[in-house]
Amino acid sequence: MRILILASFLIVLVLFLTTQMPVILTAEQVSQSVSDAIAELQVAVDEDEMERAVQLSVAKLEHAQRNRLKYLASAYFIIWLVFMLYVLRLARHYYVLDKRLVQLEQASAHDEK
Amino acid sequence: MKIVAILTALLLFISLYLIFAYAPIERTMLEVQKIFYFHVSAALTVFLAFGVNFVLSITYLIKRRTEHDMVASAAAELGLVFCTIALLSGPIWARYAWNTWWNWEPRLTSTLILWLMYVGYFILRSTLSGDKRKLYSAVLGIIAYLDVPIVYYAVDIWHGGLHPERDTKWNLEQPMQWTWMVSLAAFIMLFSLLLILRYQMKKNEARYEAIQQHYLEKAR
């Protein structure tokens, strides 16, 4: 039972980490791409100002996304945790009850003899 | 039982795959909206679980069969677990969407009342024994269920709540709709599996109590 719970947690974690990874664009890549576009368009732009603006916007976007993923991960973790605690409690209860029943039935059979 | 377990595991796996790999990211809430699939499914499973409790409580009052009481209490216990999940995952979503962990709006408040009523159901069961326990908990199960339609129609009854309208979940984009339906099916299967398991455990508990009683009478 414990292995099953651990496996389910690992599946959720792997799925979460592998499938929901955003396409990561670094500030440098965006900056380079914008510089190339400006060069192609042949317009006059302050390159330093532009780079600062790009870096700030990328940082803000990344921070917002990290924040959203934290909410998502916490919600699924709590759901998993509640189920895990309930199933563990059931498993323990089941084990104790089964043991007591066997003991009681054995004692009863012994008495009848 | 084995088939139900395999089917449940399979459906849960598929639903997780659909949530994280297939369903598109919603435009307003972005990744956080993915909480919806398990949160709403858990909330609807609560209605099913308490519905089973309601029906079996009525049949217990009519036929007075112990099995009906066993299934009713097992369903109420599972309803409480699913309700806890809905009540705990909701505030995380609310913190992002409404900028608050909790709000005394109609649906949230009525859901908390529902949860408290079924906590009361188990407190009552733990304080009584024998036929009295079965009878009183069946009556309380019927009364507590009256809150379920209030929770479901809370948005329509008291306009101005923060929850979206009831029809929202049916007006989703097709991939989101499919993902939600599979998640709901997975939760219903999980509920069925746990209900069977819990019922079997309750039967064992009754058997244990009967043997114990037999011993006590013999000792006297």
Please give the ipTM for the structure prediction.
0.84
pLDDT at B120: 94
Residue A30 Cα, gap to closest chain B Cα (Å): 22
d(CA B207, CA A97): 10
Q: Would you call B35 and A76 a contact, using CB atoms and an 8 Å cutoff?
A: yes
What string of DSSP letters covers B59-88?
A: HHHHH--HHHHHHHHHHHHHHHHHHHHHHH
Q: Would you call A76 and B38 a contact, using CB atoms and an 8 Å cutoff?
A: yes
Residue B62 Cα, gap to closest chain A Cα (Å): 30
Residue range A14-32: mean pLDDT, rounded: 66
pLDDT in tens, B146-172: 999 998 888 777 776 666 666 666 677
**Res. B107: pLDDT tops 80:** yes
In this prediction the pTM is: 0.82
- In order of A21, A28, A41, B30, B160, the CA distances from A24 in angstroms are 8, 11, 26, 16, 40
- In order of A45, B85, B205, the CA distances from B79 in angstroms are 62, 10, 20
- Residue B122 sits at the chain A interface (C-beta within 8 Å): no
d(CA A45, CA B186): 55
Neighbours of B215 (CB within 10 A): 14
Q: Which of A68, A74, A100 sits opposite B208 (nearest CB)?
A: A100
d(CA B85, CA A83): 8
Best mutation target, A13, A69, A76, to test chain B (most B CBs within 10 A): A76
d(CA B140, CA A32): 68
- Residue B204 sits at the chain A interface (C-beta within 8 Å): yes
User: Tokens standing for B17?
Assistant: 């795959």
pLDDT in tens, A27-64: 777 777 878 888 888 877 787 887 888 888 888 888 88
Backbone angles phi, psi at B23, to 5 degrees: -65, 130
pLDDT in tens, B31-80: 888 898 999 999 999 999 999 999 999 999 999 999 999 999 999 999 99
Instruction: Tell me what percent of the residues of chain B surpass a pLDDT of 90.
Output: 51
